[in-house]
Structure 1
């Protein structure tokens, strides 16, 4: 069916940036269009329809064609075919951005109108059309619109036929931003982030979102849950290499609750991890700090047992494994099969099964990223908590082995063979290298050996030249977590239709952190400026507002990548400190508020009285939960790309090292670094 549309007229100074903007009719109804100019480089477009009856129309859209040929494209989600759209579920800091090195153009949906549209239908059985965006780089078209959508793959969105527009007034709106300022080209996200935070984020933060009050009660609940109410399930203590060690289990689920009325079932292998996500040693930092703060010797002793377990990982030529696991078996009870661990007498060492090679922990190869993270945490423990020389010796042995892996361009490989130490050829030139930069800079800071610093700068320059300019943010999570779409056909290649790589924000974080470390050592402004650029790209995955269709507090929380759906992901407790640090370094209040909002968002998914509305949602999902489960916390929200005002899937598991324990560590570390105020 041929489109019927109206041209949107813009002032002269926009016409060198925008060739045309068209607005569809709804059925036979012509749009009422109002264009205003809140600033010299900004236009606000407000569209109204007065419908006297229901209109059946599969798709309604605004279509914009830039007046130049962009070389840079950015959107919050991938749309690899014309069937795909960027559903409103992914509108954390929503924008479409293009530039050609001289002209910069951005399109931003009007969040006030989207809030109004979402709130008017809250609790209604009627499913209104969903807002969307789209970017077609080859055709040089940017689109916004409304239609029904569904989730495809994990997680992309596609248009669905049968959209109904209800009778009455329908409103839609968006902003247009233009600039020829070199700063907008160098950092395409800064102006928009400021716009989002000034308009929505900061006012909501000032009103107490995502939560208000002291955070200490959440910390106490996390530790009381792990080491008292759920201790028999969470805390694992055993003898290893003649030493008493311990750590929280990698993952537990609701069937292991002391209140569960049925037979418990273990979701995954009973294990302890020291990996880039799930880090027992990171959690130990927080527990040690909290024990020291409160005078709780039991917590300090447990933290030291966690440190001992990390030191027990056997080193071979400097390399070491990241996972200690137990053998599993299946048992049949009353006709049903349940997973059970054979206990720590069956323990074995291995590595993360989130990799391209083996789903088996025992056979998984060594991951350089995981080793660099654990070794960095050892150095931080040595520097900040206890000067245990064993930590320094262990990290030094690894650092020397790491230097031998650096390639001629400066990159460190992704995975290596445990026996030969040879790189395995996947992600050998990736931004995972950035975490090794931060580790080596800390090695240099403590040891004074320039060989570490030289290798760090060489690696950083490789990332700055090969990764940052084109946005090739590919790391292990991009393809080998739950969102595996594109791992064969698109790894190392841009998705043609969007002129973008599949991206994960984890590697943006590591790179922004590495650049800040190198700036502090060198005082070279280029590192700080580039670090801010990486940080701002990261912050485009942070929620700058509270959507009415996200039914938990979301302000400040993070998503993960441009092909997944999480809100309030546990990584926000890791990111919070770095965002705040940039705020102090650059004296930008927005970053300080964003950092604190990220930290606060880290606790919004916890089951406890402090989160009353979320607590009710937990109890609707799992009616047997009670005060013995306070502190239980899912790692994210909206993971499958859909939410519901009544029947939200709240999740079934807690990962202490990537959830409540990680959030507690994030708070304790920031408390020690920045102080209570």
Structure 2
């Protein structure tokens, strides 16, 4: 039996409105079978070594199968858990979701790339649900969890319900089964290499790829994928600029200059001609923020407009550039959020230093993450679209101020008062600092300066030590978005039941990008290796299968954090580019496959004929929708804000939906063209 599981295993069986414990004998050996008679059923537990082909990357892999046979036709199964004590030397370092209270678990609606991972100084181990088995038979939902108080691992079957924002509470009274059931999972073990880093999940990521993902995410011709996705961009821009243009496209004069952009958030009820065009869900506004970045999406319609000869798209993109550059700088720092006045007129509006996704009392502070992201896209515009003479002076002023704010330990504050440079106490050690590395490396590519790389390496070392090694992926989204703080979820505090931090994978994106960029700038393999470590952890949020209980396509898409449960989130269009770059640097074909599927997933939630199942769902939920609305694009699936029907929400955000995906597709094609020009060998393009 797997050496990291200790004696004392037991079955938990739900009967008579409570959970009851039954001991289970688990003798040592490479294969064995145990039997237990519990209330109303016979339970068979089989454990055996997995097939030899799985041994290439692991020290040991066992497969466990639990079969439950009701002893009579009247018997019903409402819940069963197999609970194992864990080797005391092992510490839980990863699970897909937190379950802060008793009677909670990680439900299978969070099984994207499912695993619970442990490590000691010399060993890494993991429980991995058998996705193949769940696909074949799911009469009751699957659950798993780790509890620090008794240092035990659990896998089983039980219904559950969503509670809070968002956790899974066991609900065994809701559903029962009176038929034979089974569930299967793997138990894997690796010996860590000498001088290996903690929390290096590459072995687990490779096992998940080998077991499940490779056959569900096959490698395809990248040019054919891009060409197949291009029609989505026509729907996106046709919706934003034409069919809904009177609501979405905003154009006005700011400080005497013509500017423009697509309104931040638009709801289905605002369909033109319906009489609710001005019924804004949130204040009418334009953003250049880490999520909702009008400049990033304008980069996309600038490139598509140029390549497709669509002068209107290119002209609108220039107006979005004007808007970004119109932000007033205070010794380099600048706002990223412009809100219309109370009368919904732009002329009565004003700039705000930070968008509303921030801690209380930070209204007058600049969020450096947003500013660096905006400057990063200004530099991409300068490099890829047009070398506008205003861009470099604007970015230089900001970067000079940014470098003056670098802390002695190499990190950067998150929020800063622009006049006094007073720093917020929040996120002083966070992966948001990685965004500044991305900006400095790109500026160094355009204007080489050793100081940029020196500052970047100081920051990267700090992020590697304080964030990656600690699994502390906290950023603004973790606590100050829709999944907010509450008594069981507080900034900087470990989850009481698992000993893990609340985390969001956006920081993994910035950090994987930053380490990759440092490798390109310095040639140091150290940074490429660190980047692949971070990318492996991010990959645990990628959806590697199609659950039958989700009515929308899922393969290749991304979740968000370990205290929220969206699927198909818009960040997948950013990860698509990260995987592509790592493929070009390493030649590892699974990165290319992950990239292509993430790019395809970026358009899964668009309302259009190319997505028939999703189209039908939109028309059930929003009965007024028809061809006039093709291109409307919810930012993800299963968004919990009180408005979704059957998992489908009421709003769209062009800059975190179809516009963002179209921009990534433009950059994806540009990257392929550059790789071909450099004669980088690819599976389908030489």
> Normalised by the size of structure 1, how large is the TM-score?
0.90
The CA deviation at 1:46 is 1.7
SS of residue paired to 2:628: helix
1:408 and 2:408 aligned: yes
Match of 1:31 in 2: 43
Match of 2:164 in 1: 153
8 A Cα contact 1:99 1:185, kept in partner: no
8 A Cα contact 1:368 1:415, kept in partner: yes
Unaligned runs of 5+ in 1: 16-20, 119-127, 329-340
The CA deviation at 1:66 is 2.4
Distance 2:198 2:475 in 1: 24
The CA deviation at 1:569 is 0.2
The CA deviation at 1:579 is 1.2
Within 5 Å, which residues of 2 pair with 1:45-64? 45-51=64-70, 52-53=72-73, 55-56=75-76, 59-64=79-84
Q: Name the CA shift for 1:598/1:25 in 2 (closer, same or farther; >3 Å).
A: farther
Match of 1:586 in 2: 586
- The one of 189, 197, 214 equivalent to 2:209 is 197
Match of 1:275 in 2: 289
Distance 1:393 1:627 in 2: 45
1:235 and 2:249 aligned: yes
8 A Cα contact 2:34 2:46, kept in partner: no
C-alpha offsets along residues 258-301 of structure 1, whole Å, 9 cap, x if unaligned? 36476752111111000000000000110000001101111111
Match of 2:348 in 1: 346
Which has the larger displacement, 463-472 or 161-170?
161-170
**Aligned residues, how many?**
644
Match of 2:668 in 1: 670
Match of 2:3 in 1: none
Distance 1:158 1:315 in 2: 48
C-alpha offsets along residues 185-235 of structure 1, whole Å, 9 cap, x if unaligned? 6564223322333333332233999x9770011011101111110110110
Distance 1:485 1:403 in 2: 31
Distance 1:455 1:133 in 2: 43
Match of 2:21 in 1: 3
SS of residue paired to 1:604: coil
Distance 1:579 1:197 in 2: 14
The CA deviation at 1:164 is 4.3
Within 5 Å, which residues of 2 pair with 1:244-283? 244-258=258-272, 260=274, 265-283=279-297
Within 5 Å, which residues of 2 pair with 1:77-476? 77-118=97-138, 128-162=139-173, 164-182=175-193, 186=198, 188-206=200-218, 214-258=228-272, 260=274, 265-328=279-342, 341-350=343-352, 351-358=354-361, 363-476=363-476
Q: Name the CA shift for 1:287/1:23 in 2 (closer, same or farther; >3 Å).
A: farther
8 A Cα contact 1:23 1:62, kept in partner: no
8 A Cα contact 2:217 2:544, kept in partner: no
Distance 1:607 1:597 in 2: 19
SS of residue paired to 1:11: coil
The CA deviation at 1:449 is 2.1
C-alpha offsets along residues 91-149 of structure 1, whole Å, 9 cap, x if unaligned? 1011111011212211011111211234xxxxxxxxx5321111112422111112221
SS of residue paired to 1:467: helix
Distance 2:276 2:332 in 1: 46
Match of 2:4 in 1: none
SS of residue paired to 1:4: strand
Distance 1:474 1:512 in 2: 15
SS of residue paired to 1:215: helix
Unaligned runs of 5+ in 2: 1-18, 677-684
8 A Cα contact 2:579 2:592, kept in partner: yes
Distance 2:379 2:258 in 1: 22
Q: Name the CA shift for 1:9/1:609 in 2 (closer, same or farther; >3 Å).
A: farther
Distance 1:22 1:397 in 2: 70
SS of residue paired to 2:567: coil
Match of 1:652 in 2: 650
Match of 2:680 in 1: none
8 A Cα contact 1:153 1:485, kept in partner: no
Match of 1:336 in 2: none
Which has the larger displacement, 296-305 or 193-202?
193-202
> Normalised by the size of structure 2, how large is the TM-score?
0.89
Distance 1:236 1:279 in 2: 15
Within 5 Å, which residues of 2 pair with 1:493-504? 493-504=493-504
Distance 2:111 2:230 in 1: 31
Q: Name the CA shift for 1:643/1:317 in 2 (closer, same or farther; >3 Å).
A: closer
8 A Cα contact 1:254 1:260, kept in partner: no
8 A Cα contact 1:6 1:25, kept in partner: no
C-alpha offsets along residues 608-651 of structure 1, whole Å, 9 cap, x if unaligned? 0000111001100011100010000100001239999xx61311
The CA deviation at 1:5 is 4.0
Distance 2:347 2:579 in 1: 43
The CA deviation at 1:179 is 1.5
The CA deviation at 1:24 is 7.4
Q: Name the CA shift for 1:588/1:666 in 2 (closer, same or farther; >3 Å).
A: same
SS of residue paired to 1:157: strand
Distance 2:344 2:321 in 1: 24
Q: Name the CA shift for 1:228/1:503 in 2 (closer, same or farther; >3 Å).
A: same
SS of residue paired to 1:502: coil
C-alpha offsets along residues 335-364 of structure 1, whole Å, 9 cap, x if unaligned? xxxxxx5311111001211000249xxx35
SS of residue paired to 1:104: strand
C-alpha offsets along residues 153-199 of structure 1, whole Å, 9 cap, x if unaligned? 10111222415431222111111101214288656422332233333
1:507 and 2:507 aligned: yes
SS of residue paired to 2:105: strand
SS of residue paired to 2:261: strand
1:42 and 2:45 aligned: no
Match of 2:12 in 1: none
The CA deviation at 1:58 is 5.4
The CA deviation at 1:63 is 1.2
Distance 1:252 1:640 in 2: 17
